[in-house]
Amino acid sequence: MLSEAPARQKWHVSVLGRVRDYNQLLKPNLSGMVVFSSVTGYLMAPGVALHLGSLGLWQQIITLFVGGMLVTGGANTINQILEKDSDGLMKRTRLRPMPDRRMGTSEAWAFAVFTGLAGVFMLSYYFNVRAGLLSFVSLLLYAFAYTPLKKIHPVAVLVGAIPGALPPLIGWVAGTGGFGLGGWVIFFLQFFWQFPHFWAIAWVAYDDYNNAGIRMLPTREKESKFTGLQCMIYSLILIPMSLMPRFVGLIGNTGMMICMLFGIMYFAASVVFYIKNDYKSARRVMFASFLYLPAILLTLLGDKM
């Protein structure tokens, strides 16, 4: 009996370690925000009543959340499979399961296919086929277009912004069965939000990305102010775009003003980044982006409620 205890303990540690590895493949922090935007799109859809005491509504939310997490997790896993060599060259990613050689490529592919297809099936079966197909398109674009382009050309940011903005539209389609104007408005808000967000992160992590041969900035020179200028342009677009949810009836005047204020905040951070072009101002844009998106999504939800 005593000899079995160490073996049992070793097995327990091994299982926990593998669970942590799968968790790293899913990237739950990133996936959680993506899926939250999908749930927001669903709840904003006409015909979806926000009766928070309704068990049926919570079942739909949980189903959409789980399905979305599976699809996003599948895409993230493929991303890590294709970038395992690059991840091994960067400080922040070198301890991921594959570059650290804790997991083989075949196992990761099996996990990616299972999670991705399971998520697509859930969205198709419990909501509608359009939502499922749209999530599958998002997975393909992220995994097989955006990921390889990161090493070829900065246009990867533009390509990646498409699957990055699809989740709220997927949620809208799940709730309505069609592509409504309101869904496209939320899509474009999330689409333009991503550019300063990605560029600020790429500027802060420039050395790591450069060592791995990943090209995310709109210029080859980190010292150039062109990145800051581009952040200004795309964050500026978000200010007049704050009017669009009001025009299509998603929010009222108060919600519109709140959206505009957060757009101005995002733009102001980008202006400071353009002027100073330093680490601190780049991080300020990055944190402004982390604040902007959930604030806008919560404003949309709060106005409907």
**Looking at the predicted structure, is the pLDDT value of residue 106 above 90?**
yes
Q: What is the pLDDT of residues 231-242, one digit of tens each?
A: 999 999 999 999
Look at residue 95 and tell me if it is in a domain.
yes
Q: What is the pLDDT of residue 31?
A: 79
Highest mean pLDDT out of 67-76, 81-90, 213-222? 67-76
Residues 174 and 185 in one domain: no
Residue 146 and residue 100 share a domain: yes
In this prediction, residue 221 has a pLDDT band, given cuts at 50, 70 and 90, of confident
Domain that holds residue 210: 180-305
Name, in order, each residue with C-beta under 8 angstroms of 179's C-beta and a sequence gap of 6 or more.
Answer: 169, 172, 173
- The H or E element spanning position 42 is helix 28-44
Mean pLDDT of 286-299: 95
pLDDT confidence bin for 13, thresholds 50/70/90: very low
**224 and 256 together in one domain:** yes
Number of domains in the chain: 2
The pLDDT value given to residue 9: 45
Q: pLDDT band for position 49 (50/70/90)?
A: confident
Residue 2 lies in a domain: no
Quick check: is 129 in a domain? yes
DSSP state of 218: S
- Both 62 and 141 in one domain: the answer is yes
- Same-domain check for residues 41 and 172: yes
CA 192 from centroid of its chain's CA atoms: 13
Same domain, 146 and 41: yes
Please count the residues of the chain. Answer: 305
Contacting residues for 86 by C-beta, under 8 A, at least 6 apart:
93, 151, 212, 213, 214
Give the closest residue to 109 by CA, choosing from 27, 29, 31, 25.
25
In a domain, 189, yes or no: yes
Q: pLDDT digits over 127-186, tens only?
A: 999 999 999 999 999 999 999 999 898 899 999 999 999 999 999 999 999 998 999 999
Going by C-alpha positions, the residue among 146, 78, 66, 87 that lies closest to residue 112 is 78
CB atoms within 10 A of CB 188: 17
Task: Flag whether 3 is in a domain.
Answer: no
- Same-domain pairing of 251 and 289: yes
